[in-house]
Structure 1
Amino acid sequence: MKAIKLLPVVLLLVFASCSSVRVVTDYDKNANFSNYNSFAFYKPGIDKAEISDLDKKRILRAIENQMVAKGKMKSNSPDLLVSIFTKENERVDVYNNNFGWGYGAWGWGAGYGWGGNWGNTVSRSTEGTLYIDFIDAKTNELVWQGIGRSGLYRGSDIEKKEEKINLIVSEILMEYPPNQMSN
């Protein structure tokens, strides 16, 4: 009976971990992020991203919305250039389903021990990685990079696709600007 009560909790944790965005950021500790008030998209870098033009537009729109919400302006003479890069790979998770606690008598012999070897479950999904790079427009040097990894939405519902992209971008840009102790 305990296994039945724990099953929803286990499933919730498995599905929650599949839908989350894992974010890592890095930055130049010598950069003064308070000086970066405007941005523009770096077309040569964005053109290299290997995703559809529609998804590029969705990502750039999400980045622009997040930057404007942070008080940054899109400009023709920007302080920051924004570039993106994407990767995609198959993620394989193997879950061992050997539950072996409790008691009962299964099979031909009498004895204690509940459950048995139920085997392994293999889950496959496509995981995408989005890199958002901020480049100092004057020095042309990378000053901040955010990387977000998440399962990709592969359906045809445009709203769900945009919602997923917005989530990934907002989770990454939640880390910008970095918390710096001194500059």
Structure 2
Amino acid sequence: MKNTFLLLFAFVALVGCQTVRVSQDYAIGTDFNQYKTYAYFKKGVDEAKISELDKKRILRAIDSEMGARGFTKSENPDVLVSIFTDTKERVDVYNNFGWGFGWGWGGWGGFGINGPFNNNVNRTTEGVLYIDLIDAKDKELIWQGVGTASLKSSPEEKVERTNEMVREILMQFPPKPKR
């Protein structure tokens, strides 16, 4: 019982610390093992509405992660990589109840003490990064990974968050077959 509680606590702690939320979608029936080389889909990268500095951070992180997965950058690629970015505001509302006391009986009589009650509203700007993989020959989207995380402000934090987002997104690629 003690071990089960510790495992559950560790799982909740790890999930609670996850800073990047990811998802994926892909073309079912695609043989992802056939893809070995990649290049960037220039039009998609050029249209990404972010600064050139952020764009370079994302592309460097993608190069690193694709290389780690055995892909080679090529002039004649098997797959094209495109990116799309977006931002959204996340609003978290916390209702905090203070102390309290109550006592009563049937009818209209009773006694009660109420404590402080307040609402905290936390607004966070989150960045959303889409990484699309397109079959270079057919020009068909074969895989899309999406990551969402709070944005950082310092250049060092931006590099760290970008690397983390790209790593978490591409960790899903290639999709694992269902058993």
Q: Scaled by the length of structure 2, what TM-score is found?
A: 0.81
Gaps of 5+ in 2: 1-12, 103-110
Of the candidates 164, 171, 175, which is equivalent to residue 172 of structure 2? 175
The number of aligned residues is 161
- Aligned equivalents of 2:167 and 2:75: distance in 1? 24
Q: What residue identity is the alignment partner of 1:138? A: K
Question: RMSD between aligned alpha carbons?
Answer: 2.6
Deviations 1:36-79 (A, max 9, x none): 00000111001111100110010010001000001110101000
User: How high is the sequence identity, in percent, across the aligned residues?
Assistant: 50
Residue 3 of structure 1 is matched in structure 2 by none
- Aligned equivalents of 2:84 and 2:132: distance in 1? 8
- Aligned equivalents of 1:119 and 1:88: distance in 2? 29
Q: How does 1:133-172 map to 2 (within 5 A)?
A: 133-153=132-152, 155=153, 157-172=154-169
- Aligned equivalents of 1:170 and 1:143: distance in 2? 19
Residue 22 of structure 1 is matched in structure 2 by 21
Residue 8 of structure 2 is matched in structure 1 by none
- Aligned equivalents of 1:138 and 1:97: distance in 2? 56
Deviations 1:76-132 (A, max 9, x none): 10000000000011111110011456x59xxxxxx676x723210010110111000
Residue 39 of structure 1 is matched in structure 2 by 38
- Aligned equivalents of 1:59 and 1:131: distance in 2? 11
Gaps of 5+ in 1: 1-12, 105-110
SS at match of 2:116: strand
Q: How does 1:77-96 map to 2 (within 5 A)?
A: 77-96=76-95
- Aligned equivalents of 2:39 and 2:163: distance in 1? 19
Q: Scaled by the length of structure 1, what TM-score is found?
A: 0.80
Residue 126 of structure 2 is matched in structure 1 by 127
- Aligned equivalents of 1:99 and 1:176: distance in 2? 47
